[in-house]
Amino acid sequence: MKVARRSFLSLSLGVAAGVTLSPLPWKLMDDISIWTQNWPWTPVPEDGEISYAQSICTLCPGGCGINVRKINNRPVKIEGLKEHPLNKGGLCPLGMSGLQYLYGPSRIQSPLKRVGKRGSGNWKKITWKEALADVSEKLYDLRVSGRPQALACIASTDRGTVPKLIARFLTAYGSPNFIRASTAFDSLEQAIYLTQGQQGTPGIDIENADFILSFGTGILDGWGGASRMCNLYGKHNSTKKIIQIEPRLSDTAVCATEWIGINPGTEAALALGLAHVIIKESLYNKDFVEYVSFGFDDWTDEDGTVHEGFAKLAGSYPPDKVSQITGISKTKIVSLARKFARASKPIALAGRGQGSVPGSIDECLAIHSLNALVGNINRTGGVSVIPGPDYAKWPEVKMDVAASKGMQQPRIDGAGGKQFPNTQFLLNRLPEIINSAKGESPVQALLVADANPLYTLPDTAATKKAFNRIPFIVSFSSYMDETSAMADYILPNHSYLERYQDVPTPAGLARPLIGLAKPVINPVYDTKHVGDSFIQIAKSLGGFIENAFPWDNYEAFLKESLDDQWDELNNKGFIENKYDDLPAPLAYSFNTVSSKFEFYPTLRNNPKNKDVDVLPAFTPVPIEGDFQKFPLVLIPYDSIRLAGNYIANSPFMTKTIDDTVLKQQTVLVEINPITAKKLGLCEKDKAVLITPKGKADVKIHLYEGIMPGVLALPRGLGHTAYSKYLADKGVNVNDLIGPIKDPSSGHDMAWGIRARLTKA
């Protein structure tokens, strides 16, 4: 007992000495420090063999080449393809973040059937067999009921084999209602058709133009293929002149040689004013105007009626009048006209921002007339028409009685009808037509492929109301977007990295270039190529519909369509039609009545036989709202960092958004400090933005780069679906802006809406 304490102390001392002299503490310390560096929840990515897979990006219609870096066949990074003629190794943020679409939380991982109320988000996983059987049965019943034309399909494009296959399905089924979203290229296409009689995709040879007069076109805000335009800008920024005309200092305006602020919606007046100066000072291309144009001067028709020519129309837009309309000084108008006309390869561009709104046909014609005045039609550095892709002929669709009866019905959207004979698709009119229909909705079943109309169409509330009247909606989307969320069935498509898809010449490109998107990875989830879904539905519908699809699957269809181009496309990824100059015969082969370029477009619908309805006179677009109640004007703007189309933002893109655009959940509305001061608003103040279409909570961002009296909101925010990384951030401008029908084309021509801003 006596020694107990001492012995204990001694023992402890011994232990301490022993432990110190043993490796235990030192080794343990080392191990613990390593342990603290290796939290099990911090992932350790698997290493392995690096390989690359080349493909074409189809997240936007730009058609850039991509090079996917893979580790052990697992994609880890998307890079731009150096060999691709458009992006040459560069890539926009959307394409760069592509893998977030492949693995992201908004991917739909198997076919789904709605079980709760529409839009409630309650889904049941079903098998592909069940999904295809259910959809086929519904479509069968609709057809048997004698109304195959009540089936409609919405797609984002009609170019490429996938939409062609879907349209073929609708034809065999008996519905003329294949509808795709419209863009500013549709207006240009129509303007080209009316003046040149040529049909095809507009080619805009920015590559070779040296003076770009852009009426608000966001050439560096995502228009015409973001990477292509950026690449051109980087290469030629010191030699090409860009004149950007718009009320807001956009990123294009930031980079432009000169930015000219203009009263929103008065671009057509400026175009006519410039034409006035060019004609008055005789700066126009006389050869072109004299020999290959029609309707420049007044002319007399067969009945002896004298018609006004373009020169006279332009004559009524002298600089001082135009200055008053546009807010641009007289001297600037005159000097701009001179600079434009004297440039060696000038080009005038119509369509605002990325061109998601088709815009007014008159405006487009007025701007296109400027190109004609300088003779820049079907010429290097000018505007031309690109022929469609050269697909092998498919066997003709044989229609049964039901199908041919259905196909004889007028299109639901009214495109191609009496009122809008020159328009192919009018998606923007669909909600209005459904909502105003008495009794049942004219659309009884809706198939949506690669489109998200519930987000991209103007006036979301009306669109939603219309969709609620459609009894059966099937979405083929890869993602839980707004439209999928409202669907009854979702038959998810492979993501763009998991599927074959041909990519026709990107809109706006002046040289034919077709690409082939190839799967770079086997499907990650239980998805199916949308083409295969349609083929399988056709097969289960049987009869003539089945016969219209003699292919086993989409890949076989694609191979047959691309025919002898398949091998080269599959190996190289793209086929470029190289030529420095447009082939001579194409140059001036106009298919108009006069066989000339028609400044006075006789092809234009002219029921009242009035010159003002044919010539592109400036009539202000009647934007919605009363000036007293809504003293301000709201315009949407586009940004490369925000995907405003049917493909929504990736988390990475949202991460790049400035805090002057989005702060927490609230979007910031851009307002000139002068206007803000009048309203008693300061930076970051909370406010309520009200338009005739709706209202939204916003914050204030004072921006010197916006015209006083004008407000601007970005496109691409305000999603309600997708994942928490995108949903409920900001406001969808389409909630606040409604469509305005162009009386001539039926397209949406709204460039904005009247608005009111009050401090919250």
Partner 1 sequence: MKEKNNHTKRFGMVIDLDKCTGCGSCMVACYAENNVPFRVDETNKLDSLSWLVVHKITNGKPYPNTEICYLPMPCMQCDGIGKHGHSPCVSVCPAVATDYDHETGIVSQIYTRCFGCRYCMAACPYHARKFNWWDPVWPADMKKYLSPNVSPRMRGVVEKCSFCFHRYQQAKDKAFYEKREELYEDEYQTACAEACPTGAITFGDLNNKNHAVYKLKKDPRAFRLLERLHTNPKVYYLTSKSWVRRAGDNYLANEEPGKIKQEMVHGH
Partner 2 sequence: MSQTDQHQPVSTKAMPGANETPAANSTGWIIFLFFMIGFVGSLLAGWILFPELLYSKKNQPIDFNHAIHLDQVDDGCESCHFFREDGTFAGMPGLDSCIDCHEEAQTDNPEEIKFVEEYVTQGIEVPWLNYSKQPDCVFFPHSAHVIGADMSCETCHGDIGNSEHTRVYEQNKLTGYSRDIWGHNIARLGKHKQGEPAPMKMNDCAKCHKKETGHKGACFQCHK
List the single partner that 658 binds among partner 1, partner 2, none, CB under 5 to 8 Å by kind.
partner 1
753 interacts with partner 1 by CB under 8 A: no
At its nearest, how many Å lie between partner 2 and the CB of residue 64?
25
Applying CB under 8 A, among 226, 377, 448, 558 the residue interacting with partner 1 is: 226
**Which of the choices partner 1, partner 2, none does residue 434 contact, using the CB cut-off of 5 to 8 A by kind?**
none
- Minimum distance, C-beta of residue 232 to partner 1, in the bound complex (Å): 9
Which residues, 50 to 69, sit near partner 2 by CB under 8 A? Answer: 50
Q: CB under 5 to 8 A by kind: which of partner 1, partner 2, none does 707 bind?
A: partner 1
Contact segment (CB under 8 A) with partner 2 among 2-10, 151-159, 231-239, 710-718 equals: 2-10
Q: Which is nearer to partner 1, 82 or 342 (CB)?
A: 82
User: What is the CB-side half-sphere exposure of residue 554 using CA atoms within 13 A?
Assistant: 25
The span from the CA of 453 to the CA of 432, in Å, is 13
Closer Cβ to partner 2, 10 or 122, answer by number: 10
Q: Which of 349, 403, 478, 382 lies closest to 59 in space, CA to CA?
A: 478
Query: 10 Å Cβ neighbour count for 629?
Result: 11
To which residue do tokens 């001061």 refer? 677
* Cβ atoms of residues 715 and 674 within 8 Å: no
Q: How many angstroms separate the CA atoms of 7 and 19, rounded?
A: 18
13 binds, options partner 1, partner 2, none, Cβ within 5 to 8 A by partner type = partner 2
Q: Which of 27, 77, 124, 286 binds partner 1 (CB under 8 A)?
A: 77
Which of partner 2, partner 1, none has residue 7 at its interface (CB below 5 to 8 Å by kind)?
A: partner 2
Task: Identify what 5 binds: partner 1, partner 2, none; CB under 5 to 8 Å per kind.
Answer: partner 2
CB 127: neighbour CB atoms within 10 A? 11
Q: Residue from 119, 200, 471, 673 that binds partner 1 (CB under 8 A)?
A: 673
Question: In this chain, which stretch among 10-18, 61-69, 75-83, 516-524 interacts with partner 2, using CB under 8 A?
Answer: 10-18
Tell me if 633 contacts partner 1 by CB under 8 A: no
Q: Does 660 help bind partner 1 (rule: CB under 8 A)?
A: yes
5 binds partner 2 (CB under 8 A): yes
From residue 52, give the alpha-carbon distance in Å to each of 55, 73, 74: 10, 9, 10
User: Are the C-beta atoms of 491 and 114 separated by less than 8 Å?
Assistant: no
Q: What are phi and psi of 700, to 5 degrees?
A: -95, 130
CB closer to partner 2 out of 54 and 217: 54
Based on DSSP, count helices (H) and strands (E) in the chain, helices before strands. Answer: 29, 30
Q: Give the one entry of partner 1, partner 2, none that residue 237 binds, where binding means its C-beta sits below a cut-off of 5 to 8 angstroms depending on kind.
A: partner 1
Choices 16-24, 561-569, 685-693, 723-731 (CB under 8 A): range interacting with partner 2? 16-24
Cα dist. 212→277, 376, 386, 389 in Å? 18, 12, 20, 28
Residue 46 interacts, among partner 1, partner 2, none and using kind-specific CB cut-offs from 5 to 8 Å, with partner 1
**Would you count residue 74 as binding partner 2 (CB under 8 A)?**
no
Considering only CA atoms, which of 155, 226, 242, 223 is closest in space to residue 184?
A: 223
Q: Which residues of 27-55 are buried (b: 16+ CB within 10 A; e: fewer)?
A: eeeeeeeeeeeeeeeeeeeeeeeeeebbb
Q: Which is nearer to partner 1, 43 or 304 (CB)?
A: 43
160 contact choice in partner 1, partner 2, none (CB below 5 to 8 Å, kind-dependent): none
Q: Tell me which of 83, 390, 526, 659 binds partner 1, using CB under 8 A.
A: 659
Q: Which stretch binds partner 1 (CB under 8 A): 220-228, 460-468, 509-517, 550-558?
A: 220-228
Nearest one of 415, 456, 409 to 433, comparing CA atoms: 415
Distance of closest approach, residue 66 Cβ to partner 2, in angstroms: 20
Per-residue H/E/C for 352-418:
CECCCCCCCHHHHHHHHHHHHHCCCECCCCCEEEECCCCCCCCCCCCCCHHHHHHHCCCCCCCECCC
**Residue 678: other Cβ atoms inside 10 A:** 13
Shorter beta-carbon distance to partner 1: residue 46 or 626: 46
SS3 call for 536: helix
Residue type, 29: M
- Minimum CB separation of residue 29 from partner 2 in Å reads 11
**CB of 37 or CB of 664, closer to partner 2:** 37
Least separation in angstroms between residue 517's CB and partner 1 is 19
Q: Does 658 bind partner 1 (CB under 8 A)?
A: yes
Task: Give the one entry of partner 2, partner 1, none that residue 408 binds, where binding means its C-beta sits below a cut-off of 5 to 8 angstroms depending on kind.
Answer: none
- What is the x/- site pattern for partner 1, positions 96-115, by CB under 8 A? xx-xx-xxxx-x--------
Instruction: Please list every residue from 476 through 535 that binds partner 1, using CB under 8 A.
Output: 524
Q: How far apart are CA 699 and CA 685, in angstroms?
A: 5
DSSP code of residue 504: P
Q: How far apart are CA 573 and CA 169, in angstroms?
A: 28
The CB-of-585 to partner 1 minimum distance in angstroms stands at 35
Least distance (Å) from partner 2 to the CB of residue 31?
4
**Closest approach of partner 2 to the CB of residue 21, in Å:** 6
Binder among 17, 144, 254, 612 for partner 2 (CB under 8 A): 17
Q: Is 9 in the site for partner 1 (CB under 8 A)?
A: no
407 binds partner 1 (CB under 8 A): no
Residue 716 contacts residue 646 (beta carbons within 8 Å): no
Read off the tokens for 703: 């921006």
Task: Report the side by side order of strands in the sheet with 178-180.
Answer: 123-125, 112-114, 489-490, 472-475, 445-449, 151-155, 178-180
Residue count, binding to partner 2 (CB under 8 A):
34
1 part of the interface to partner 2, by CB under 8 A? yes
Choose which of 2, 4, 23, 43 interacts with partner 1 (CB under 8 A).
43
Query: Toward partner 2, which CB reaches closer, 9 or 760?
Result: 9
**Neighbouring-strand partners of residue 711:** 634, 671
Contact flag: residue 584 with partner 2 (CB under 8 A): no
d(CA 54, CA 517): 8
Rounded CA gap, 281 and 179, in Å? 45
Instruction: Retrieve residue 223's tokens.
Output: 């228009």
Q: Which one of 663, 679, 683, 743 is in contact with partner 1 (CB under 8 A)?
A: 663
Nearer to partner 1, 100 or 602 (CB): 100
Instruction: Decide: is 29 part of the binding site for partner 2 (CB under 8 A).
Output: no
Residue 39 interacting with partner 1 (CB under 8 A): yes
- In 3D space, the residue among 486, 418, 482 whose CA is nearest the CA of residue 451 turns out to be 482
Shortest distance in whole angstroms from residue 3 CB to partner 2: 5
**Cβ pair 721, 485 in contact under 8 A:** yes
Which of 525, 541, 543, 524 shows the shortest CA–CA distance to 533?
541
What are the residues binding partner 2 (CB under 8 A)? Answer: 1-3, 5-8, 10-19, 21-24, 27-28, 30-32, 34-35, 37-38, 44-45, 49-50
